[in-house]
Structure 1
Amino acid sequence: MKVNALMALAILALLWPAAALRAAVTKTTWSDAPAREFVFVENNSDDNFFVTPGGALDPRMTGANRWTGLKYTGSGTIYQQSLGYIDNGYNTGLNANWKFDMWLENSPVSHP
């Protein structure tokens, strides 16, 4: 009986690394989204500017250089929740506590 248990434990020890390799993180790679035009809007009265899509919404890139005067103060309507938003056009869900980077290839900055 001890031999059977020892043999089963040895087989399990040999198969465990193979199972762990299959459980590794998988990277999803999608094709490039179609080219889109974006509009850069500048407000000369308070040096505020923002970027918005010029046509179709997806893929999406929007943002501003500072918080607006409509920033949420703890009560009332939430007008602005972030300074920017970039989406690849697939609108996939993101799980809580996962970490994600979206980075432009060949950009002047080498890393986030």
Structure 2
Amino acid sequence: MTDHSPPSAPTLRRVAAAWGERVADARRARRLSQADLAERAGVSQQTISKLERGRLCPHDRLKLRLAQALGIAPHELWAWLPAEPRADSGGSTSRLVEDHPAEATQGV
């Protein structure tokens, strides 16, 4: 039987925190303020702040906007996420992206 239960709250918090760290690191490496990144991505500075503090896990469209605003390929924002095996797939989407980044971003 396949487990289709949603991820646990601690897992979501870890993912949100990891996203936040990655975005903050990329932003700082480009010497952008939160306001600069927000303007480039078309979101509020509060959204960037929440994201970087791990209070917000971005949806796919926001991930793409952030990648464009940071001048990096979309897969670079999620290829680094820690892999956590799922009972229904035997792996994780982050592992899939690491192994096949081109396929993961097709149609984007």
Q: Under a length normalisation based on structure 2, what TM-score does the superposition of the two structures give? A: 0.25
Of the two structures, which has the highest relative contact order with CA contacts closer than 8 Å and spacing of 6 or more?
Answer: 2
Higher strand content, 1 or 2 = 1
Asked which structure has the greater CA Rg, the reply is 1
Higher helix content, 1 or 2 = 2
Q: Under a length normalisation based on structure 1, what TM-score does the superposition of the two structures give? A: 0.25
